[in-house]
């Protein structure tokens, strides 16, 4: 009857303080990421040493290796946090998130299709557009359904179905992959990683993500009105059809481009808005910037983490978020159950 | 009386899922009236209210607000003029009461504006009018059903609309608060506003409304003063109940008495 989100004790803090705090955190992690190498090798001291002996290598390492990786972690994290917050607001469902709803795996499928069929040469530059198309299809289905589904779990089931279909078709591509090299490329989209991405990857992906952010942010005011449900929000003067189209396109551009460039990174859009919601007093509009910053901080921290964890092969970040995120999702489900869903 | 009606609905027909929800409803209403929309379950009361609010587009017919059809109205300007209270009382996030009520000011504020003094005054008036001013810092999750109903009504009143369309605003309220809320609507109507409320309580409807519109099966069966609309024969035919009439000091109220 009343609120669907699990009630946490209100821990609201000043909005300005929250945003400044998160921005500082992102800035510190951004710099830390630039100076973190695999297993701690190539840290600040090493880099400074290289800078004096071999400045050319230093700049090459920084701009060609560390910078693209760091910028990607920042932008992809912000994309996932922001799109999670917008989807949760539009669908009024605390479980909505690009990965759970199948938008991410549809983006991966779109990228795999472009790659597999060699559309536009199947290059790194063309795959983001495949990702955008894949996400657009998935999000459109979900939002069309979300308007009718009163029960939050119905929507999650739709996500399960979309995920299953996308996974099946991606597996088909993997199964029929013409060479081990092609198979490895496809697996990349399933695992998700910021490693070995060059500036070329950023050239197309980042502008597409920025377009997506603009569209997603443009929904902010209507999200507060939607706290009261669709009829009341419409009676407050919001054109909900237009809002939904902006959300669909925004997710498509941002998540599609992000996933096509880094592969599927799960649960960030679920965890970040959930953690930050009490700090903004549960107001959906204020969750957007906060979640974007929170997502960026989480991704930068996680990407520093995978470089420092001592595993024989570098742990893929998508694997890490899945291992941490899945139990969290399970926990949220139990809490929702208990609160009378 | 204003020659241009506040609301003029002409020949409204609404069909969905292949069922006619409204069949040629025509209705005119001027400011200064409290109008009760009554009728049995499934009569089309909610559909009519939503159509008047512009939330449902009629298949046939048109709704004009202040002489201008709904399609011509700019959404934001219409939202300043018309407040709609939904029958469903779901609040999706556990915001505080004051913030929920402040959502009613959204049509009056620019996208980047904070709450002005005028906004704050309207919110405070709305909380007082609904007897919820002690609840303002509570989370909506902690409210009882009746408290939530009054808070949602405060949200509509905070927008200071000239036209109020409220769908079952008193269902789930205790008798004291039912009367208080309906008297509040009566006072708003005396103030020159047009108030249309969906009611199931025939006693409240007959006692407080200036005019009743009785719907049955998607059509207007009777439209007029409570005495003219709620005749014993008509109530028996439509609701299958016998009624008694209570009179006191020149005022009358119809009380449903027995199932036929």
Q: Note the pLDDT tens digit of each residue in A170-189.
A: 999 889 888 888 888 888 88
* B93–A283 C-beta distance less than 8 A: yes
pLDDT digits (tens, 9 = 90+) for B8-28: 999 999 998 888 899 999 999
**What average pLDDT does the segment B121-127 reach?**
96
More confident residue, B232 or A44: B232
Percent of chain A residues topping a pLDDT of 90: 52
Ramachandran region of residue B224, left (φ > 0), alpha (ψ -120 to 50) or beta?
left
- Contact at 8 Å (CB) between A332 and A113? no
**What ipTM was assigned to the predicted interfaces of this complex?**
0.92
H/E element, B221:
strand B219-224
Full DSSP string of A242-265? HHHHHHHHHHHHHHHHHHHHH---
What pLDDT does A203 receive?
86
How does B226-244 read in b/e, with b if 16+ C-beta sit within 10 Å?
beebbeeebbeebbeeebe
pLDDT digits (tens, 9 = 90+) for B165-192: 999 999 989 999 999 999 999 999 999 9
Quick check: A203 contacting B, CB < 8 Å? no
Using DSSP's 3-state secondary structure scheme, residue A277 falls into: helix
pTM: 0.91
* B78–A2 C-beta distance less than 8 A: no
Q: Which of A3, A5, A237 sits opposite B79 (nearest CB)?
A: A237
Q: Which of A7, A229, A238 sits opposite B94 (nearest CB)?
A: A7
Q: Which residues of chain A lie closer than 8 angstroms to B76, CB-CB? A: 237
pLDDT digits (tens, 9 = 90+) for A62-83: 888 889 999 999 999 999 999 9
Q: Which residues of chain A lie closer than 8 angstroms to B50, CB-CB? A: 231
Nearest partner of A267 among A225, A233, A302, A240, judged by Cα:
A302
Using DSSP's 3-state secondary structure scheme, residue A5 falls into: coil
Say which range, A122-131, A324-333, B6-15, has the weakest mean pLDDT. A122-131
Q: Which of B88, B94, B145 sits opposite A3 (nearest CB)?
A: B94
pLDDT digits (tens, 9 = 90+) for A229-242: 999 999 999 999 89
- Contact at 8 Å (CB) between A194 and A72? yes
Say which range, A33-42, A88-97, B48-57, B61-70, has the weakest mean pLDDT. A33-42
Q: Which residues of chain A lie closer than 8 angstroms to B92, CB-CB? A: 3-5, 92, 226-229
In DSSP terms, B83 is beta-bridged to B164
Q: How many CB atoms lie within 10 A of CB A46?
A: 15
Measure B144 CA to nearest chain A CA, in Å. 10
Q: Which of B55, B91, B93 sits opposite A234 (nearest CB)?
A: B55
């Amino acid at each position: 009857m009343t609120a669907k989100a699990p009630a946490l004790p209100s821990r609201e803090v000043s909005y300005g303080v929250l945003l400044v705090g998160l921005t500082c955190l992102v800035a510190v992690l951004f710099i830390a990421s630039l100076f973190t190498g695999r297993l701690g090798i190539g840290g600040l001291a090493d880099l400074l040493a290289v800078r004096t002996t071999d400045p050319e290598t230093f700049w090459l390492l920084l701009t060609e290796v560390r910078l693209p990786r760091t910028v990607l972690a920042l932008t992809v994290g912000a994309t996932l946090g922001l799109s999670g917050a917008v989807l949760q607001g539009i669908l009024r469902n605390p479980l909505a998130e690009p990965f759970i709803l199948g938008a991410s795996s549809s983006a991966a499928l779109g990228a795999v299709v472009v790659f597999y069929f060699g559309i536009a040469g199947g290059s790194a530059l063309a795959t983001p557009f495949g990702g955008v198309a894949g996400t657009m299809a998935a999000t459109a289905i979900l939002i069309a359904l979300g308007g009718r589904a009163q029960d939050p779990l119905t929507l999650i089931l739709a996500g399960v179905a979309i995920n299953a279909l996308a996974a099946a078709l991606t597996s088909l591509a993997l199964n029929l992959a013409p060479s081990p090299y092609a198979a490895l490329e496809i697996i990349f989209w399933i695992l998700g990683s910021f490693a070995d991405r060059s500036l070329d990857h950023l050239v197309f992906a980042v502008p597409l993500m920025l377009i997506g952010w603009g569209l997603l942010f443009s929904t902010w005011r209507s999200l507060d009105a939607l706290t009261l449900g669709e009829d009341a929000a419409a009676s407050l003067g919001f054109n909900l059809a237009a809002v939904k189209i902006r959300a669909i396109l925004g997710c498509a551009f941002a998540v599609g481009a992000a996933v096509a460039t880094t592969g599927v990174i799960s649960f960030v859009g679920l965890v970040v808005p959930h953690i930050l919601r009490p700090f903004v007093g549960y107001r959906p509009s204020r969750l957007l910037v906060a979640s974007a910053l929170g997502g960026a901080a989480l991704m930068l921290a996680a990407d520093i983490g995978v470089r420092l964890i001592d595993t024989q092969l570098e742990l893929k970040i998508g694997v890490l978020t899945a291992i941490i995120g899945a139990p969290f999702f399970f926990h949220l489900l139990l809490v929702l159950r208990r609160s009378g869903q | 009386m204003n020659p241009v009606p506040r609301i003029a609905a002409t020949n409204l027909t609404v069909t969905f899922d292949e069922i006619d929800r409204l069949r040629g409803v025509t209705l005119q209403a001027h400011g200064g009236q409290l109008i009760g929309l009554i009728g049995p379950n499934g009569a089309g009361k909610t559909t009519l209210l939503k159509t008047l609010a512009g939330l449902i587009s009629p298949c046939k017919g048109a709704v004009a607000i202040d002489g201008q059809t709904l399609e011509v109205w700019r959404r934001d300007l219409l939202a300043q003029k018309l407040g709609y209270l939904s029958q469903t009382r779901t609040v999706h996030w556990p915001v505080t009461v004051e913030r929920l009520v402040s959502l009613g000011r959204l049509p009056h504020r620019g996208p980047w504006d904070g709450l002005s003094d005028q906004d704050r005054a309207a919110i405070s008036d709305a909380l007082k009018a609904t007897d919820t001013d002690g609840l303002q810092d509570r989370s909506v999750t902690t409210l009882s059903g009746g408290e939530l109903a009054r808070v949602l009504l405060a949200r509509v009143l905070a927008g200071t609309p000239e036209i109020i369309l409220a769908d079952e605003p008193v269902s789930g309220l205790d008798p004291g608060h039912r009367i208080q809320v309906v008297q509040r609507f009566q006072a708003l109507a005396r103030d020159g506003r047009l108030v249309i409320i969906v009611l199931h309580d025939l006693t409240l409807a007959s006692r407080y409304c200036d005019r009743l519109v009785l719907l049955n099966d998607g059509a207007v069966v009777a439209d007029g003063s409570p005495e003219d609309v709620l005749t014993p024969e008509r109530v028996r035919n439509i609701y299958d109940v016998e009624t008694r009439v209570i009179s006191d000091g020149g005022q009358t109220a119809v009380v449903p008495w027995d199932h036929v």
